[in-house]
């Protein structure tokens, strides 16, 4: 069975329109990856997912129906999204999904880089957080957000 993952393109400077990417299962039937066909380290994806879950748990009770954070996983990056419920009935029941930060993985270098999103929904390398082989370092820097570029 194939997986469909919604994300904002592989190149952080090209696509702002959501697109669907079909990821095939790895030919090895023994693969137990929740993201078959991906080139990302599974343990790092799990760390980012736990970080997103922790952000959701820290939300005040009064805000829990008004905002949530999600993670989109692509073959070379993960994107953290801020999601909000529809504010007008004519827009339908779907929540809006707004990208906040993207972590790009370079397999050849074995490390992660941080990208910030501009007003046109394009991503740019964030030079104030150096690339790291440990995604936890990037998560901590984004959490601290000393510039306000991610969380305002």
The domain locations on the chain are 39-144
Check if the beta carbon of residue 118 is closer than 8 Å to that of residue 102. Answer: no
108 Cβ contact list (under 8 Å, min separation 6): none
Is the pTM higher than 0.85? The answer reads no
pLDDT tens digits, one per residue of 27-80:
333 344 555 556 899 999 999 999 999 999 999 999 999 999 999 999 999 999
pLDDT tens digits, one per residue of 86-145:
988 888 889 999 999 999 999 888 899 999 999 999 999 999 999 999 999 999 999 999
């Amino acid at each position: 069975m194939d997986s469909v993952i919604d994300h904002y393109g592989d190149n952080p400077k090209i696509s702002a329109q959501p697109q669907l990417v079909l990821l095939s299962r790895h030919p090895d039937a023994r693969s137990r990856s929740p993201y078959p066909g991906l080139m990302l380290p599974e343990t790092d994806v799990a760390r980012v997912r736990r970080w997103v879950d922790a952000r959701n748990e820290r939300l005040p009770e009064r805000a829990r129906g008004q905002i949530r954070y999600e993670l989109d996983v692509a073959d070379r990056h993960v994107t953290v999204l801020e999601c909000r419920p529809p504010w007008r009935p004519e827009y339908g029941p779907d929540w809006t999904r707004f990208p906040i930060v993207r972590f790009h993985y370079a397999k050849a270098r074995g490390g992660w880089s941080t990208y910030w999103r501009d007003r046109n929904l394009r991503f740019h390398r964030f030079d104030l957080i150096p690339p790291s082989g440990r995604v936890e370092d990037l998560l901590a820097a984004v959490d601290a957000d000393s510039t306000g570029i991610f969380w305002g």
